[in-house]
Structure 1
Amino acid sequence: MVTAVFPAAGQGRRMNVGMNKVFLELAGKPILVHTLLRFSASAEIDNLVVVVAEEDVSSIRRLLSHVPGLKPFQVVAGSTERQYSIANGLAVVPAEADIVLVHDAARPLTSVATIDGVVQAAREAGGAVAAVPAKSTIKLVDNDGVVVKTPPRDKVWEVQTPQGFRKDILLAAYQKAKEDGFLGTDDSSLVERLAAPVKVVASDYKNIKVTTPEDLLIAEMFLKEEGDGLRGMVKQTLQKTKEKMKKHLH
């Protein structure tokens, strides 16, 4: 069984809208709903755990209960830090789950291919992260801002989510971080502290995290492109069907 956990308790200060950004509408639906529907479209995913601010738990449960096509879900209260919120989500993951994915609720454009790829890689390697090759040259600097190293660009990847792990590994990583008082930048950084392998799964550059108003515009554009592409595929299918019917009639 595969469970996907979605931290969505942040305040979205950089969006500057006075509300959690995942509640903002994107092409007529809240960002959160777009995200959950993406994961619900994957045959690999069995259930969802959504972690929101305590005051939003009831309203989000009501909202999601009216969304057709969602996989079974739970909504739980988050905490002061993303890592602590995810820990709350992990606490309600079904006992029979063997793989857990963690995904930013504000990434509504993740492809099913990426989701499936992370699940499969997590099963094989124990841990996996969606990522894309870095487009820019990266510099490592010291405390004075002086460049100390330029890593080869072909070895540098920009990490996204979903990130997937065997449940036992992820739980052990969270327990270790709690004992050490360690706050990581992502789930992979916690697992890496156990010296457990984490495999990179090639994602795509459309898998953006909606953080600023500009990101919202970009996400709208990508969704329109997807819609246009889908309409084109449907149109081609209908045209081929009509051609076949004509051949049969003649």
Structure 2
Amino acid sequence: MIEQAEQTVTAIIVAAGNGRRMGGIAKPFLPLCGRPVLMYALEAFAQCPLITEIVLVTRPNEMAEAERIAEGCEKMVGTVAGGSTRQLSVRAGMALASGTYLAIHDGARPLVTPACIERAVRAAFDCGASAAAVKVKDTVKVTDDWGYVMQTPERARLWAVQTPQVFRTSLLARAFDAAETAGADYTDDCQLVEAIGGKVRLVEGDYANLKITTPEDMDAATALLRKRKANA
């Protein structure tokens, strides 16, 4: 494990998607219980004591709006324009990061908690790469191109990976270099590290840590958020 004095963490919150499934509106900027989706994720990272600084990655035309949402957040170090893919957007965020570790998070996951973030970060401190995840509840089938079942994986070994995903900065930078050399593009940050032989430890996430992808997800997030506020 790296000495404590060297452990600094930059959170890179990626909010640069095109919002195709939400009518072209970027999901992190949608209103959720009267506040932008992005604001909830931003506050969770700001409240986590292990996070040193925060970088936001957005589409170029939404940078001003992101900066308005983040106004007053003392851990914010800047907003940067994302690229045409998630991989390029994370790479853009890394340009502003000074932490020895990077915590990558989807801006469209508003219900992440400081406790979940801390679990992932502490695991990365120990092994270099970690990700929040939850056990799959349903039986999963693998099919052929015609929809016929070929395999039923053992459910006990299946996880649904979430964010944050946390990496030692030097490890993720090496993984990015290898992907660019190979011309590979990944939609999951863990895949970058896996592709160079790195091991990623999964830690307990939260079933409420859903990603806003469709209008139905907004309904679910609203209900979960109201329940959370009622129990506070």
| Aligned counterpart, 1:81 | 85
Contact 1:210 1:216 in 2 (8 A): yes
Instruction: Quote the RMSD (CA, aligned, Å).
Output: 1.3
CA distance in 1, matches of 2:39, 2:104: 16
Contact 2:39 2:69 in 1 (8 A): no
Letter in 2 for 1:228: A
| Aligned counterpart, 1:181 | 183
Contact 1:100 1:164 in 2 (8 A): yes
| Aligned counterpart, 2:4 | none
What is the CA distance between 1:144 and its match in structure 2?
Answer: 4.0
| Aligned counterpart, 2:70 | 64
Partner secondary structure for residue 164 of structure 1: strand
| Aligned counterpart, 1:215 | 217
CA distance in 1, matches of 2:65, 2:147: 46
Q: Does 1:32 align with 2:34?
A: no
CA distance in 2, matches of 1:70, 1:222: 28
CA distance 1:123–1:117, shift in 2 (3 Å): same
What is the CA distance between 1:72 and its match in structure 2?
Answer: 2.4
Please give the residue correspondences for 1:196-207 in structure 2 after superposition, counting only pairs within 5 Å. Answer: 196-207=198-209
Compare 144-153 and 211-220 and name the one that shifted more.
Answer: 144-153
CA distance in 2, matches of 1:149, 1:185: 24
What is the CA distance between 1:185 and its match in structure 2?
Answer: 2.6
Which of 53, 59, 69 does residue 53 from structure 1 map onto? 59
Contact 1:128 1:164 in 2 (8 A): yes
Letter in 2 for 1:78: G
Segments of 4+ moved more than 3 angstroms: 142-146
| Aligned counterpart, 2:17 | 10
Which of 109, 112, 128 does residue 110 from structure 1 map onto? 112
| Aligned counterpart, 1:233 | none
**1:57-94 CA distances to partner (integer Å, 9 max, x unpaired)?**
233223322xx455223100011111111110011111
Give the unaligned 5+ runs of structure 2: 1-7
Partner secondary structure for residue 79 of structure 2: strand
**1:135-191 CA distances to partner (integer Å, 9 max, x unpaired)?**
111122334433322111000000111100111111111111111111113000110
Partner secondary structure for residue 93 of structure 1: coil
Contact 1:46 1:72 in 2 (8 A): no
Partner secondary structure for residue 183 of structure 1: coil
Letter in 1 for 2:11: A
Give the unaligned 5+ runs of structure 1: 231-250
CA distance in 2, matches of 1:142, 1:167: 38
Please give the residue correspondences for 1:141-160 in structure 2 after superposition, counting only pairs within 5 Å. Answer: 141-160=143-162
| Aligned counterpart, 1:240 | none
Q: Does 1:90 align with 2:97?
A: no
**1:107-129 CA distances to partner (integer Å, 9 max, x unpaired)?**
00012111000000111111101
CA distance in 1, matches of 2:116, 2:158: 19
**1:179-234 CA distances to partner (integer Å, 9 max, x unpaired)?**
1111113000110011111001011110000111111111111111111111xxxx
Length-normalised TM-score, structure 2: 0.93
Structure with greater Cα Rg:
1
CA distance in 2, matches of 1:62, 1:114: 26
Partner secondary structure for residue 161 of structure 2: strand
Aligned length: 225
CA distance in 2, matches of 1:147, 1:181: 32
Please give the residue correspondences for 1:224-239 in structure 2 after superposition, counting only pairs within 5 Å. Answer: 224-230=226-232
Partner secondary structure for residue 217 of structure 1: helix
Contact 1:137 1:153 in 2 (8 A): yes
Length-normalised TM-score, structure 1: 0.86
